[in-house]
Amino acid sequence: MIRRVLIANRGEIALRIIRACHEEGLEAVAVFSAADRLSPHVLAADYAVPIGPAPASESYLRIDRLLDAAARTQADAIHPGYGFLAERAVFAEAVERAGLAFVGPPSSAIRAMGDKTEARRRMEAAGVPIIPGLMVPVTDPAAARESARNLGYPVLVKASAGGGGKGMRVVAEPGELERALHAAASEAMKAFGDPAVYLEQYVERPRHVEIQVLADAERTIHLGERECSIQRRHQKLVEEAPSVAVDAKRRVQMGLAAVAAAEAVGYRSAGTCEFLLDAQGNFYFLEMNTRIQVEHPLTEVVYGIDLVREQLRIAGGALMRTLPLAMSPRGWAVECRITSEDPSNSFLPATGTVQYLGIPGGPGIRWDGGIEPGNAITLHYDSLLGKLIAWGTDRAQAIARMRRALDELVILGVPTNQSFHLRLLADEAFLRGEIDSQFLDRRPDLLEARMEPGEAEAMAVAAALAEDEARQSRRPAVSAEREAAIQSLWHQAARREGLR
């Protein structure tokens, strides 16, 4: 049985997992680098263990220090979250060897899906549609030219061991191929420690649609789709569930394909199968994310399930709570990733200290954040500050609620991409659902930094509020008698004003 879980991560996902642990009646152990000593996830945990300096390579990526922290706190399990070591088979294997439960899939499933060419071979054998392309890495430029000619240009060069857009190049004509191979391999080596790349046919203007799966020792189910087509440089910015391009019939087809993909590698826990959906409605397996996704809250609010709690149950040897094999979405949800990126500086990651944080509320609004005032935002980690989720009975209401919530959200001290989200959610093409994974490539105007109407005034008011709070905190303490007298004077003034 699992009693205590170490979370091998930081920020909003660590805090999210800690809350799920507490709801399951489990104790949570946080780990932290020197930069995260006072972060919210550290303060929320039952135990907290320092694991090294700020650079991730010396802290969150150190398997030995994570296992030592688990041993020192007598943890029974480790949850990797997403990013860092979450999809490293070597980490899952180390956790398994230490006699701990890994809150995720078996290391064998991570390894099978982590190698993109191996995954393609397995998916083809399982009858899951795949994009035409090679089943083995490219090793010879001459063979690559022959393969590209057979596939037909444009082709896509992709890292075998990667994801997230790293080690990927689009090649429009033969003269660009060799340079793209070299660049992709070099980038793949830096990002994943493996320079292997392969070729596949390039799908023009596809939608990026993913299917959530959940598997225990007895069965595998799917929990519908999420639309993730709004991307910049292959990085997701806005997601929604369900998708305007997926009807009930297509949902069943894609769901069955995702279940077959998961079962082909003996999957357990929560995972996501990513697909490309073309204009004709054909879908192709892209990859499987063998972890909890950043955008998992969309599925939670639309399907009424806590995916992280289910992960914890399954890791402890229990079965998932009673869920039908096929579920229907309830309403609509939109998620905006709020990042510390500066729109006025080509969306480059920005640094600073959070001076003020105003979190929106109201019907259908959820904030999954990992920051609070006083936290330093550095370049050591991902720029994600939090995720804003809006639910509505339909897409129009979800978008309207999201726009209202974005207007209410105030983060001072570090630039954010908040204004971009407001521009996108007011765009007519987006509102009609006419999007694909290259939408922002054709609409650079949505990425241009400009002050929205009323934004300057709102920022001035927020700055004044932040300064007032800081000034109040610097004032000497007031006695209870003096405080009562001050309140009394305010009440008297208010009464006099009312009588007038």
Q: H or E stretch including 458?
A: helix 455-474
Shared domain for 82 and 147, answered yes or no, is no
- Name, of 117-121, 306-310, 450-454, the range with top average pLDDT: 306-310
Shared domain for 137 and 172, answered yes or no, is yes
What's the domain range around 172? 132-201
Domain count for the chain, please give it: 4
Percent of the chain residues past pLDDT 90, beyond the cut: 83
Task: Give the model's confidence band at 486: pLDDT under 50 very low, under 70 low, under 90 confident, else very high.
Answer: very low
Percent of the chain residues past pLDDT 70, beyond the cut: 89
Residue 444 has pLDDT above 50, yes or no: yes
Shared domain for 484 and 441, answered yes or no, is no
Question: How far is the C-alpha of 222 from the C-alpha of 244, rounded, in Å?
Answer: 18
Question: What's the pLDDT score for residue 192?
Answer: 86
Task: Give the model's confidence band at 211: pLDDT under 50 very low, under 70 low, under 90 confident, else very high.
Answer: very high
Question: What's the pLDDT score for residue 478?
Answer: 46
Among candidates 354, 301, 309, which has minimal Cα distance to 329? 301
Longest dimension (CA), the chain: 90
Active-site position among 62, 291, 309, 366 = 291
Shared domain for 324 and 303, answered yes or no, is yes
Query: Which CATH number does the domain housing residue 214 bear?
Result: 3.30.470.20
Residue 323 has pLDDT above 80, yes or no: no
Shared domain for 226 and 319, answered yes or no, is yes
Contact 199, 147 (CB under 8 A): yes
Active site residue 291: yes
Report CA torsion sign: 240, 242, 246, 251.
Answer: positive
The predicted model scores a pTM of: 0.88
Higher pLDDT, 467 or 73: 73
Residue 296 has pLDDT above 70, yes or no: yes
Query: Which CATH number does the domain housing residue 14 bear?
Result: 3.40.50.20
Tens-digit pLDDT profile for residues 388-417: 999 999 999 999 999 999 999 999 999 999
Determine the average pLDDT of the residues in 235-253.
Answer: 97
* Residue 114 within a domain: no
Report the C-alpha dihedral over residues 161, 162, 167, 169, rounded to 10 degrees.
100
The overall average pLDDT reported for the chain is 91
Determine the average pLDDT of the residues in 347-354.
Answer: 94
Task: Give the model's confidence band at 151: pLDDT under 50 very low, under 70 low, under 90 confident, else very high.
Answer: very high
Question: What's the pLDDT score for residue 479?
Answer: 52
Among residues 60, 87, 103, the one where a domain terminates is: 103
